[in-house]
Amino acid sequence: MKILVTGGAGFIGSHVVDLFVNAGHDVVVVDDLSTGRTSNLNPMAKLYQLDIRSPELREVFELERPEVVDHHAAQMDVRRSVADPIFDADVNIQGSIKVAQLAMQYDARKFIHISSGGAVYGEPVYLPCDEEHPVRPLCPYGASKYTFELYLYMFKELYNLDYSVIRYPNVYGPRQDPNGEAGVVAIFIGQMLAGKPVTINGSGEQVRDFVYVGDCARANLMTLEKGSGRTYNLGYGIGTNINQIFDHLKAITSYPMDAKHGLAKVGETFRIYLDASRAKNELGWEPTVNLEQGLRKTVEYFQEVEVKK
C-alpha cells in the first residue's frame, strides 16, 4: 500500500520508513528537513521537502493519494515549547489537524499518530503509567500532543477516520542528532567521543523509560491493520535515571571524565516509565533490544558515522 510518512527523514521517522519499505510498501515522505537529514532517507522513498503547514501539502495528497498517513512530524523540543507555546501549538495542533483533514479529504483509510508517553502524563500518580493514567502535562509540548489525540477521537466519531495513537517513551539509537534539541543519549555520546565535558541537567536522578529506536519503529508496522481508535504506550516498564545512562556510556566509550551538573530543565517530568501491556496484548509488541545492547549499537553507529563527518 502507499504510505505517507511525515517527518520521515528524521531520527525515528526514517527508521519507520525503512521498515515500511522493507515490508514492500510504497512510501512517500514529507519533511522540511529542519531537523531531518537527507542522509537518513531510504532511497526507495519519495521526498517532498515541505512543512506540514504549507499550502503545497494538498498537492502532495492530490498527487500521491496515500492509503495510510503515519504522522511523525512535530515540534518536539520541550524547552522550546515552554519558551514559545504558540509555535508549539501551531505545528503540533494546527499543523496536525491540517494533515488529518487532508487524509480524510483524500480517503486515507488509516492515520497513525505519534504522541509522547514521556510528556502527556505529567508527574505520575502511579508507576508505571498505563493509558488510563490521568493526563496532566507539565509542558506545552505534552499538552499539544494530547490535544491532537482528542481531535483524532472526534474525527473518528464524526467522519469515521480510523486511527491509532502510539505514545513513545524516551527513544534512542542510530541517527539521533547529537547536536539536536532532544536526546540525552545522543548528546552524551557526541560529547564523550569528542572528548568534551558532559553536563547533566539537574541531579541526574530523573528517571525515564529508554527504548531502542528499532523497537519503537516496529510498532508503526504493527498498527497498520490493528488498533482502531486505540492508544498504545511503548516502554519497558522500567525506569533508568540519567546518572545511570552516563555511567553506562562512560564505560562503553572509555570516557575519562566525570559529569558536571547544571540547572534542571523547566517543564520536564522528573520520574516516568510506561506500562506497555496493551501494546503487547493487542499488537503483539514488546521491546527486544535491552539497554546495554542498544547503547552499544548506538555508540558503534556514532563511531562509524557521526565522528567521521
- 110: Cβ–Cβ under 8 A, 6 or more apart, which residues? 67, 68, 69, 162, 163, 164, 224
- Examine the residue annotation and report whether 141 is marked as an active-site residue of this protein: yes
What is the secondary structure of 153-218 as a DSSP string?
Answer: HHHHHHH---EEEEEE-EEE-TT--TTSSS-HHHHHHHHHHTT---EEETTS--EE-EEEHHHHHH
Lookup result for grid cell 520536564 = 268
* Neighbour tally for 30: CB within 10 Å: 30
Torsion-angle region of 241 (φ positive above 0: left; ψ -120 to 50: alpha; else: beta): beta
Catalytic pick among 141, 168, 172, 236: 141
Active site residues: 141
